[in-house]
Amino acid sequence: MTGPKVVIIGAGVVGAALADELSQRGWDDITVVDQGSLPAPGGSSSHAPGLVFQTNSSKTMTRLARYTVEKLAALDLDGEPCFLQVGGLEVATSPQRQAELHRRHGWATSWGLDARLLDTEACLALHPLLDPDTVLGGLYVPTDGLAKAVRAVEAQLRQAQRRGVRVLERHEVIDVVTEPAPDGSADRVVRAVITDRGRLEADLVVCCAGFWGPKVAGMVGMTLPLTPLAHQLAWTGPVPALAGQQQEARRPILRHQDADLYYRDRYDQIGIGYYGHKPMPVEVDDVLSVPAAEVMPSVLTFTEDDFAPAWKESQRLLPALGEATLESGINGLFSFTTDDFPLLGPAADVQGFWVAEAVWVTHSAGVGAAMAEWIVEGHCSSFDLHECDVNRFEPHQLTPDYVLARDCQNFVEVYDIKHPLQPMEAPRPLRTSPFQGRQAGLGAVFLEANGWERPQWYESNVSLVERRSIPRPDPWAARYWSPIVAAEAQVTRERVAMYDMTALKRLEVSGRAATAFLQEMFTGNADASIGSVAYGLLLDVEGGIRSDVTVARLGRDRYQVGANGALDLDWLTRHLPPDGSAQVRDLTAGTCCIGLWGPRARDVLAPLTRTDVSNESFKYFRGQQLAIGNVPVTALRLSYVGELGWELYTSADLGLKLWDTLWAAGQEHGIIAAGRGAFNSLRLEKGYRSFGTDMTFEHDVWEAGLGFAVRLKKESFLGREATLARQGTVRRKLSCLLVGADPGTGADGVVLGREPVYDGDRAVGYVTSAGYGYTIGRAIAYAWLPAELSEPGRQLRIGYFDRRLPATVAAEPLFDPGMARLRS
Ligand SMILES: Cc1cc2nc3c(=O)[nH]c(=O)nc-3n(C[C@H](O)[C@H](O)[C@H](O)COP(=O)(O)OP(=O)(O)OC[C@H]3O[C@@H](n4cnc5c(N)ncnc54)[C@H](O)[C@@H]3O)c2cc1C
C-alpha cells in the first residue's frame, strides 16, 4: 500500500471523483464508505438530471466545469457514455436577459470557453420546440451537455477499485475519532472512522457526504455552512413532437433563467427543473435515513402546487408541451452555500480532516482533481481555489441563522442578474464600525463587505459636485454610483478626506518567535527597526500569491499585519510553530481605522498630537504610537489612495472620539468623509493591486508586477525558490489599460471587471478591476494579457456587453509615478 490511510465518506459524484483522482496519483490505501447501496446510494447524485452549463462569472468554477466535461466525455461504463455532449443553450425572453447573455458570453470568452451568441432563428434551429415569439436570442456553448451522474460514479469508482481502492456500501459513518495532535499544538488529529459495521483506521478523512456534510463535519466539531434545500424536478409524459426519438438526448440542454427554469430531453420526454418556488430548507437532522426513506433520503414528495407556474411557463416557452402531461416529479435535496461557492479544503484545527462539499455535478470531476492535488501535494496549483476554501468565512458567517438566511436567498437568486457591486440585502446590518452613526448622519450610502457596512459615498457631499464636469457611465455601470463618488475622489487629491478602513483585516503576530515566523512567511523584511512598515506578499511553496500584506513592527516581538481576509488568518495560523512561540490574533473586530489622506492631512493631524508628524520625523512607511487628543492611536504612514496621510488605528470604544476629533479639526481644511467608490478610483490611478481581484493564488509576483515587494536578499522565505525559478519566465502580465479612444471621451469606457480583452478579434485576456480615474480623466482597466501584448501603446479592445471598447496599454502607475505625493 502507498500513501496514508484515507477514508472518503460518501460515494456520490464527488467522493467517486476524488477516489479516482487520488488513486491515479499513486495512493491506494483508500476506502470509500457510503451508507446507501451503490451505484445510486441515495444522495443528490442519485437523481440529478446532470445538466452541465460551464459558463460562470468565476474563472475557477468555469475551469472546474471544463475539467469535468473533458473527463466525463472521455469516460464510459461498459461502452455507455458518461457524458452526452449535446451543447447548452441559455435563452433570453427579455431585453435585460439578452444583455445579460452578452455579459455571460464575455465571461465564457474571458475564461477560454467557446460560446456563441445566437439570434432567435439560430436558437430554433438548435431547439425547434422553442416558441419563436417568446425567445429573443440565446447563448450557446457547444461543449456543454448532460453528465450521467450515476454512471459517472460507477465508472470512476471502478477505475479506483482497479487501483486497489476499497468501496464499502451500506456502511453508515457514525463517528470520526480524533486525538490530540502529536506535534504539541492545540490541534486534534484524525485517527479512525466508526461505522455502524465497525472501525476503519484513518490518517486522513475526506467528507464528501453531500448535504449530510454538516452532520459528518460536526463529528469533529467543525461547522460547515451549507443548507440542504429542496429543488423541483419534474418529467413530462411522452411529448408527441418527440415521438420516436431514439437517442436519449438530441437537443441542447436549455435554460430559461427569466423564469427560473431549465430543461433536458430524455427520449420522448422532457425534464423540467425549477428554482422559482419558495425556498424549502431542510434541517440535516430531519433527513430520513436510507432504510426509512420511501424512495431515497434526498427525494421528498413533489409539491405539485409549487410547480404550477413552472408548468404554465414551460408550455409558453415550448408550446409542444401543451400536448403532454406531467408524469412525475420530485422535490430533490442538494446543498446551497452562503456565497454560492463550494466548501473545499482542510479543517482549521483537525489535522487530517478535509471536506469537499456543496459541489454540483457540473464541477465534480474538477473538484476531485483539485482536491487530490491539494491533499497529495499539500497545495493546488492547477486551480485557484481561493473562492472555494472552506476557511474563508468570518465567525458571523457560520452562525445557523446567517447560513439559513443566505442559503435560502441564494436559492431565490440562483438565476438572477446580479451587478458586481450588488450587496446582500439581509441579514443587515451586521458589522458596523464605531463611525456608523456619524456616517449615516452624513447620508452614507452603504454597501456591504464581509458583513461590514461600508459607505460607498456620502450624499452630504452633493454640493461638491457643482461646477465639476463629471462624466456619467452607462446605465449598468452607473448602478451603485453617483457623481458624488467623483467629487470625493477629486477632493481627496485637492484637500483631505477621511476613509473608514475598519473593514480591513488586521492581525497581530506576537511572541518570541514572531520575527522569525514572519521572516519565513513574508517576502519583505520583518526584521527591521521598531516602527518600520513593509509591504510584501505571502506566497505558497510554488510562488503563487496567497495574499499581499503590510507588516508593521510595533514592538520587539509584536507586529500588526494588514491583511485581506479570513484566509490570511488561516494561512498564518496553519504555519505557526507548534510550540506556541509565536501567535496570531485577529484584531479586526475590537479595533477600527480611519484613513486620513490628502495633501492637507498633516495640517489636520499636527495640531492634534504632541508627536512630531513632519516628513522628517514621521517618514513614509513608518509607524508610531501617538495620541490624537484623548485617543491613543497606532499611526501608519501609508496610503492606498496615493496621497500623503496615515492609517489611524484605535480600539473600537474610542473610534467615535477619533472620528469626531479629526472631523472637527479638519473643518478649516475642508475635510470630507469619502467612500469606497472614490477609494477604488484613486487606487486604480495609483496602480495598487487588490488581492482576489487583480491577482490570486494562480499568479506569481513577476506576472503581477510585484517583484519590488520581494526581498530576494533574504536567505529564506516560503516560496523563495519557486519565485527565483519563475523570474524571467513571465508569459502573462497584469497590465494597465486606458479605455475609450481619446482623453475626454467621458466615462463611456467604464467597465466593471471580468470582461474579455481582444487583440483584433482574438480573445487574449480579461479585465480584473476597472473604474474611472476622476483625477486623471480616463477610464482605467487592469487586465491579464500575454506578455508580448502588454507593452505600452498596444491597441486592444474590451468586450463590454455587445460593444468592443478601444483600449490602450499604458505605462503605470498613471498617477504620481515619482511618489512625490506620498513622500511629501
Ligand atoms: C433535483 C436535483 C437536480 C439537480 N440538477 C443538477 C444539474 O442539473 N446539474 C448539476 O450540476 N447539479 C445538479 N444538482 C446538484 C447535484 O446533484 C449535487 O450537487 C451533487 O450530486 C452532489 O454530489 P455529492 O457527491 O457531493 O453528494 P451526494 O450525491 O449527496 O453524495 C453524498 C453521499 O454521502 C453519503 N453519506 C452521507 N452521510 C454519510 C454517512 N454518515 N455515512 C456514510 N455515507 C454517508 C450519502 O449516502 C451519499 O451517497 C441537482 C440536485 C438535485 C437534487
Q: What is the mean pLDDT of residues 626-631?
A: 97
Ligand 1 centre and the CA of 11: distance in Å?
9
In tens, the pLDDT along 115-167 reads: 999 999 999 999 999 999 999 999 999 999 999 999 999 999 999 999 999 99
Does 36 sit in the ligand 1 pocket, CB within 6 Å?
A: yes
Does 347 sit in the ligand 1 pocket, CB within 6 Å?
A: no
Does 169 sit in the ligand 1 pocket, CB within 6 Å?
A: no
Ligand 1 centre and the CA of 334: distance in Å?
6
In tens, the pLDDT along 251-272 reads: 999 999 999 999 999 999 999 9
Predicted confidence at residue 291, as pLDDT, reads 85
Q: For this structure, is 548 an active site residue? A: yes
Does 337 sit in the ligand 1 pocket, CB within 6 Å?
A: no
Of 340, 548, 570, 586, the catalytic one is 548
Does 809 sit in the ligand 1 pocket, CB within 6 Å?
A: no
DSSP annotation of 134: T
In tens, the pLDDT along 767-815 reads: 999 999 999 999 999 999 999 999 999 999 999 999 999 999 999 999 9
pLDDT band at residue 295 under the 50/70/90 scheme: confident
Ligand 1 centre and the CA of 43: distance in Å?
4
For residue 472, give the nearest of 677, 744, 745, 747 by alpha carbon.
Answer: 747
Predicted confidence at residue 114, as pLDDT, reads 98
Q: Output the furthest CA–CA distance in the chain (Å, rounded).
A: 89
Does 287 sit in the ligand 1 pocket, CB within 6 Å?
A: no
Query: Could you tell me which residues come within 8 angstroms of residue 762 by beta carbon, excluding any fewer than 6 positions away?
Result: none
For residue 485, give the nearest of 744, 689, 775 by alpha carbon.
Answer: 775
Predicted confidence at residue 63, as pLDDT, reads 98
Ligand 1 centre and the CA of 108: distance in Å?
26
In tens, the pLDDT along 5-47 reads: 999 999 999 999 999 999 999 998 999 999 999 999 999 999 9
Ligand 1 centre and the CA of 354: distance in Å?
17
For residue 635, give the nearest of 672, 610, 665 by alpha carbon.
Answer: 610
Within 643-731, strands assigned E span: 645-651, 672-674
Does 13 sit in the ligand 1 pocket, CB within 6 Å?
A: yes
- Round to whole Å and give the CA distance between 234 and 304: 9
What are the CA-CA distances from residue 266 to residues 139, 185, 237, 252, 263 (Å)?
A: 22, 55, 10, 11, 10
In tens, the pLDDT along 358-406 reads: 999 999 999 999 999 999 999 999 999 999 999 999 999 999 999 999 9
Does 511 sit in the ligand 1 pocket, CB within 6 Å?
A: no
- Round to whole Å and give the CA distance between 388 and 567: 11
Predicted confidence at residue 743, as pLDDT, reads 52
In tens, the pLDDT along 53-95 reads: 999 999 999 999 999 999 999 999 999 999 999 999 999 999 9
- Work out which ligand 1 atom sits closest to the CA atom of 16: 25
> End-to-end distance of the chain based on CA atoms, in angstroms?
65
* pLDDT surpasses 70 at 745: no
Helix (H), strand (E) at residue 408: helix 400-412
Bridge partners of 446, per DSSP, are 455
Ligand 1 centre and the CA of 559: distance in Å?
45
Predicted confidence at residue 290, as pLDDT, reads 85
Query: Could you tell me which residues come within 8 angstroms of residue 328 by beta carbon, excluding any fewer than 6 positions away?
Result: 234, 235, 302
In tens, the pLDDT along 336-352 reads: 999 999 999 999 999 99
Residue nearest to atom 37 of ligand 1 (CA): 209
Tell me what the pLDDT averaged over the chain comes to.
96
Residue nearest to atom 15 of ligand 1 (CA): 360
For residue 770, give the nearest of 736, 808, 810, 805 by alpha carbon.
Answer: 736
Angle at 556 between CA 553 and CA 558, to 5 degrees: 55
What is the pTM (predicted TM-score) of this model? 0.97
Ligand 1 centre and the CA of 359: distance in Å?
8
Q: How many CA atoms lie within 13 A of 319 on its CB side?
A: 8
Predicted confidence at residue 294, as pLDDT, reads 83
Does 9 sit in the ligand 1 pocket, CB within 6 Å?
A: yes
Contact 757, 807 (CB under 8 A): yes
Q: What is the mean pLDDT of residues 438-448?
A: 98
Predicted confidence at residue 186, as pLDDT, reads 87
Does 152 sit in the ligand 1 pocket, CB within 6 Å?
A: no
Residue nearest to atom 25 of ligand 1 (CA): 12
Ligand 1 centre and the CA of 725: distance in Å?
42
Q: What percentage of the chain has pLDDT greater than the value 90?
A: 96
Q: For this structure, is 416 an active site residue? A: no
* pLDDT surpasses 60 at 747: no
- Work out which ligand 1 atom sits closest to the CA atom of 363: 11
In tens, the pLDDT along 657-713 reads: 999 999 999 999 999 999 999 999 999 999 999 999 999 999 999 999 999 999 999
* pLDDT surpasses 60 at 741: no
Does 366 sit in the ligand 1 pocket, CB within 6 Å?
A: no
Q: What percentage of the chain has pLDDT greater than the value 70?
A: 99
Of 140, 262, 263, 758, the catalytic one is 262
Ligand 1: residue of 360, 371, 411 to mutate (most ligand atoms within 8 A of CB) is: 360
By CB neighbour count within 10 A (0-12 exposed, 13-18 middle, 19+ buried), where does 644 fall? Answer: buried
